[in-house]
Structure 1
């Protein structure tokens, strides 16, 4: 299993303001589903930050997202560890397979893979 990227998910009710502010730092919008917007560095595309109003299919909004190469293997390992699964493994309509798990500090981690 390998990690492809780690993205902080910050709550935001003002995505336009965030786009403008972080644009001053060189980040550009690379994804916008209306409820989540991701900005990235054009030179280092894995350097990203997301702003989220709410998650439409999960019970909570995650604190960060970790993209992995084999989400099913990670899900099996996390379940075996006994960690709390907050949102079960599922395929989402926007093209990701994901689940949420709570880390030891209480943060909710969105673990995902692109289909």
Structure 2
């Protein structure tokens, strides 16, 4: 197993759904509140533990696929270089997004699409 100097800051599962309002209400029953909403993606978080989050997405605004999980890292450029050097499939290239993140999508060994990002 390779181990680098990268540090994961946050991991958020993403649920693809056309029922955003219903999902907000359902996860509200479990203690989550809306912390971000761009219309196409909404993130719900726990007021008691802000790192506990889940996102609900209808579709990705700029990528060809909907990711399964988001991993925020301390250095997205280093993460991009590492997964490319390892031969992983890049699903969405590294780019700066208008909502303040730099990100790329990569397919993990099980076929899941991972949104790897850092905030700008």
Q: 1:77 aligns with which of 73, 82, 87?
A: 82
Distance apart, 1:71 and its partner CA = 0.4
TM-score, L = length of structure 1: 0.98
Query: How many Å separate the matches in 2 of 1:105 and 1:19?
Result: 28
Unaligned runs of 5+ in 2: 1-5
Unaligned runs of 5+ in 1: none
Equivalent pairs counted in the alignment come to 115
Query: How many Å separate the matches in 1 of 2:110 and 2:102?
Result: 24
Partner of 1:14: 19
TM-score, L = length of structure 2: 0.94
Query: How many Å separate the matches in 2 of 1:88 and 1:49?
Result: 24
Q: Which runs of 4+ in 1 moved over 3 A?
A: none
Please report the RMSD computed on the Cα atoms of aligned residues, expressed in angstroms: 0.5
Query: How many Å separate the matches in 2 of 1:72 and 1:14?
Result: 34
